[in-house]
Amino acid sequence: MKPPALSDLNAFVLVARHRSFQRAANELGVSRSALSHAMRSLESQLNARLLHRTTRSVSLTQHGAALLQRLQPLLNELDDVLDATRLGAQTLSGTLRINANEGGARWLLQHVVEGFLHTHPHVTLDLVTEGRLVDIVAEGFDAGVRLAESVPQDMIAVPFGGPIRFIAIASPGYLS
């Protein structure tokens, strides 16, 4: 037999807390009859009567009280875990590893790093310049700074910093 659905366990907690199918159903946004059916199904799956029902009241059986006592802390902990996950997904944290040539690293340091680290204080930056082109995935980097011509076909490139021009500068005497 399959384990009870989390939604049914949560519904049981609401029925037990409110001592009312109607109030629990209103909070869940379901009909009273659907909630009643879910509770009968839960009792069947657990092979235990959880609720005493009359036309005027709802109360917990001994099995229901024991389940509620053990279930409420678990559901509260689950809510805390999910809330922390949601908050963590909204906050960048961890180490950002970037591989770049010296020019790219210099540009990042001058134009991006300070603002990025100020905006995301929980991020640590690991900016590596090795003087050679590395496979950023195989070497464990999150990103790499490359000239457009050297980006592999299977990588996603996002241009930044505008066009770069290279020029040769020399004295007239050297050129002649």
- Ordered domains of the chain (ranges, CATH): 6-88 (1.10.10.10), 94-150 (3.40.190.10)
pTM over 0.85: no
Convert the pLDDT of each residue in 54-112 to its tens digit: 878 899 999 999 999 999 999 999 988 888 777 766 778 889 999 998 888 998 999 99
Q: Is the pLDDT of residue 163 over 80?
A: no
Q: In three state form, how does the secondary structure of 110-134 look?
A: HHCHHHHHHHCCCEEEEEECCCCCC
Convert the pLDDT of each residue in 17-49 to its tens digit: 999 999 999 999 999 999 999 999 999 999 999
